[in-house]
């Protein structure tokens, strides 16, 4: 039979001493991890902070340099703006070529009314009725909705035709 | 009591962690780091843009840009220059062998708000016949780059032609860091090419703009 001669209250501390090395190891590991993570976060923060300050300074310097060339930027901007306007206007430009063809096709025209994107009427005179019809057929491909609005007999076989082109 | 002194070390570690865990886990730290990271990224993008813009601005040939602008202003004037338009109309009439009998039109205030507004004129020509009218319209179309013939009324020997000429004011732009510098040379070449395509035969005198770049077709 084993006899323990230690006082009763010291029995517990001997029990805790058994875990001392394990607790130290665990605490030190946690502390090292804590310090490593803390250092990493602080380092990252310092790095970002420095980068931010450095970037702000660079932006400020570049902005000043760009602002010094404001007159150049203005000239470029105005030129680009005008070029865009001219380009757009050219794209919207409607040529009267189609209308001009009327003046060159077929018999002589005695009257012509042209409205851009609107009604176009042409008057031809001193023709036979069949000639007016031939002229209308000739222009059919260019003006699909062409029609003889009026045909007036001026003399025996002499007609005046008013033709709606559109 | 001395026997428990070794417990102070793990207890200090524990207290340190408990007190700082609030700081780490609160989210303020991560939010701060994320904000800084975003700011650094945004700064990097801004620096790239500004560096590029500065390099482009330094490379701009101001005299070339001014010449381009002057050229564009001859195509579309900066104000309602009715006398200039009339001069061109008279020259076209002379070239077509017809006479200008009269003209009418209103000249309103030139304001930036009215930009792009057309200056319209009703011009009565003594054309004689349809052939001369044809020559006149051809001259007008080809002589004045951005002239629009909106209406023609021809009876007997007279023709009333409504023409519209464009104008566009010089706008005042304030320096804008986000504005990207562009070279208008290719756009001007495209404009020249279109003018050739549209049959414009008389272009303003241009020293800098290379017509050959726009088209091989001579004006």
Same domain, B161 and B201: no
User: For residues B79 and B167, what is the distance between their CA atoms, to the nearest angstrom?
Assistant: 6
In terms of domains, do B134 and B162 share one?
Answer: yes
- Angstroms from B219 CA to nearest CA on chain A: 17
- φ and ψ of B43, to 5 deg: -60, -40
A40 exposed, middle or buried (CB, 10 Å; 0-12, 13-18, 19+)?
A: exposed
Do B175 and A83 make contact, defined as CB atoms within 8 angstroms? no
Mean pLDDT of A142-162: 85
- Better-predicted residue by pLDDT, A2 or B164: B164
Give Cα separations from A11 to A5, A23, A101 (angstroms): 10, 19, 122
What residues have CB less than 8 Å from B150, skipping those under 6 apart? A115, A116, B120, B162, B163, B164
- The reply to whether B122 and B142 lie within a common domain is yes
The reply to whether B148 and B118 lie within a common domain is: yes
Find out whether B182 and B55 touch, Cβ atoms under 8 Å. no
Mutation target for A interface from B5, B6, B8, B10: give the one with most A CBs within 10 A: B10
CB atoms within 10 A of CB A70: 14
Contact B175 A45 (CB under 8 A): no
Residues B43, A51: C-beta atoms closer than 8 Å? yes
- Tens of pLDDT, residue by residue over B37-80, are 999 999 999 999 999 999 999 999 999 999 999 989 888 888 87
Task: Give A36 to chain B, closest Cα distance, Å.
Answer: 13
| Residue B14 counted as domain residue | no
Instruction: For residue B19, tell me if it sits in a domain.
Output: no
Give mean pLDDT, residues A125-148.
86
Place of tokens 């042209």: A114
Q: What is the pLDDT of residue B80?
A: 76
Residue B208 confidence (pLDDT): 39
Residue B211: pLDDT band by 50, 70, 90 thresholds? very low
Please indicate whether residue A26 or residue B29 has the higher confidence score (pLDDT). A26
Is residue B89 a part of any domain in this protein?
yes
User: Do B177 and B165 fall within a single domain?
Assistant: no
Task: Give domain status of residue B8, yes or no.
Answer: no
What residues make up the domain containing B40? 26-59
> A21-30, A53-62, B12-21, B106-115: which has the minimum mean pLDDT?
B106-115
Task: Give this prediction's pTM.
Answer: 0.66
Does B48 share its domain with B99?
A: no
pLDDT-derived band at B21, boundaries 50, 70, 90:
confident
Confidence of residue B217 (pLDDT cuts 50, 70, 90): very low
Q: Do residue B161 and residue B98 come from a single domain?
A: yes
Q: Are residues B155 and B180 in the same domain?
A: no
Is the per-residue pLDDT at B219 higher than 90?
A: no
Residues 138-157 of A with CB under 8 A from B: none
Higher pLDDT, B68 or A106: B68
Q: Is A95 on the interface with B (CB under 8 A)?
A: yes
Give dist(CA A144, CA A165) in Å, integer.
8
Residue B4 forms part of a structural domain: no
Same-domain status, B126 and B159:
yes
Last residue of a domain, one of B169, B189, B208: B169
Confidence at residue B204, expressed as pLDDT on a 0 to 100 scale = 56
* Inside any domain, residue B3: no
Which range among A58-67, A84-93, A95-104, B13-22 has the greatest average pLDDT? A58-67
- Mutate one of A15, A36, A66, A68 to test the B interface: name it (highest B CB count within 10 A): A66
Minimum mean pLDDT range among A41-45, B6-10, B141-145: B141-145
Both B119 and B160 in a single domain? yes
How high is the mean pLDDT of chain B?
Answer: 80
How does residue A155 score in pLDDT terms, banded at 50, 70 and 90? confident
Give the C-alpha separation, B107 to B14, whole Å.
88
Contact A75 B148 (CB under 8 A): no
Same domain, B83 and B156: yes
A166 and A120 in contact (C-beta within 8 Å)?
yes
Residue B211 belongs to some domain of the structure = yes
Q: A149 pLDDT exceeds 80?
A: yes
pLDDT at A75 over 60: yes
CATH code of the domain in which B105 resides:
3.30.70.60
Instruction: Check whether residue B135 and residue B196 sit in a common domain.
Output: no
Judged on CB neighbours under 10 Å (0-12, 13-18, 19+), A117 is: exposed
**Closest residue in A to B33 (Cα–Cα):** A45
% pLDDT > 70, chain B: 85
- Range in A65-69, B78-82, B86-90, B186-190 with the lowest mean pLDDT: B78-82
pLDDT bin (cut points 50, 70, 90) of residue A136 is: confident
Q: Does B105 map to a domain?
A: yes
How many structural domains compose chain B?
3
Count how many Cα atoms sit within 13 Å of the Cα of residue A52 in the half-sphere of its side chain. Answer: 14
């Amino acid at each position: 039979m084993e006899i323990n001669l230690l006082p009763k209250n010291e029995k517990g501390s001997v029990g805790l001493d058994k875990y001392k090395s394990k607790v130290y190891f665990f605490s030190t590991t946690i502390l090292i991890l804590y310090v490593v993570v803390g250092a990493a976060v602080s380092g990252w923060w310092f790095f970002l902070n420095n980068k931010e300050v450095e970037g702000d300074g660079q932006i400020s310097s570049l902005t000043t340099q760009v602002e010094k060339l404001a007159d150049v930027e203005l000239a470029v901007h105005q030129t680009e703006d005008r070029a865009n306007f001219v380009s757009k206007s050219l794209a919207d430009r409607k040529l009267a070529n189609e209308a001009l063809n009327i003046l060159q096709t077929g018999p002589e025209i005695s009257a012509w009314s042209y409205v851009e994107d609107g009604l176009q009427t042409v008057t031809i005179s001193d023709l036979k009725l069949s000639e007016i019809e031939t002229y209308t057929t000739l222009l059919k491909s260019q003006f699909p909705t062409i029609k003889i609005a009026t045909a007036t007999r001026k003399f025996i076989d002499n007609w005046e035709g008013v033709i709606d082109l559109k | 009591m001395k026997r428990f002194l070794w417990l102070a070390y793990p207890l200090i570690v524990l207290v340190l962690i408990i007190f700082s865990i609030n700081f780490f886990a609160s989210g303020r730290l991560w939010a701060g780091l994320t904000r800084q990271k975003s700011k650094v990224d945004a700064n990097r993008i801004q620096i790239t843009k500004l560096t590029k813009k500065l390099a482009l601005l330094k490379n701009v040939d101001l005299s070339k840009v001014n010449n381009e602008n002057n050229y564009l202003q001859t195509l579309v004037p900066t104000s309602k220059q009715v006398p200039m338009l009339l001069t061109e109309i008279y020259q076209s009439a002379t070239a077509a062998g017809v006479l200008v009998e009269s003209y009418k039109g209103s000249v309103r205030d030139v304001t930036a708000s009215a930009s792009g507004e057309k200056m319209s004129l009703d011009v009565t020509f003594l054309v004689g016949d349809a052939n001369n009218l044809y020559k006149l319209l051809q001259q007008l179309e080809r002589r004045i780059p951005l002239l629009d013939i909106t209406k023609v009324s021809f009876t007997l020997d007279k023709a009333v032609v409504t023409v519209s000429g464009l104008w566009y004011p010089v706008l005042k732009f304030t320096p804008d860091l986000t504005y990207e510098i562009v070279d208008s040379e290719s756009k001007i070449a495209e404009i020249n090419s279109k003018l050739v395509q549209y049959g414009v035969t008389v272009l303003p005198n241009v020293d800098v703009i290379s017509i050959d770049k726009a088209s091989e077709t001579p004006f």
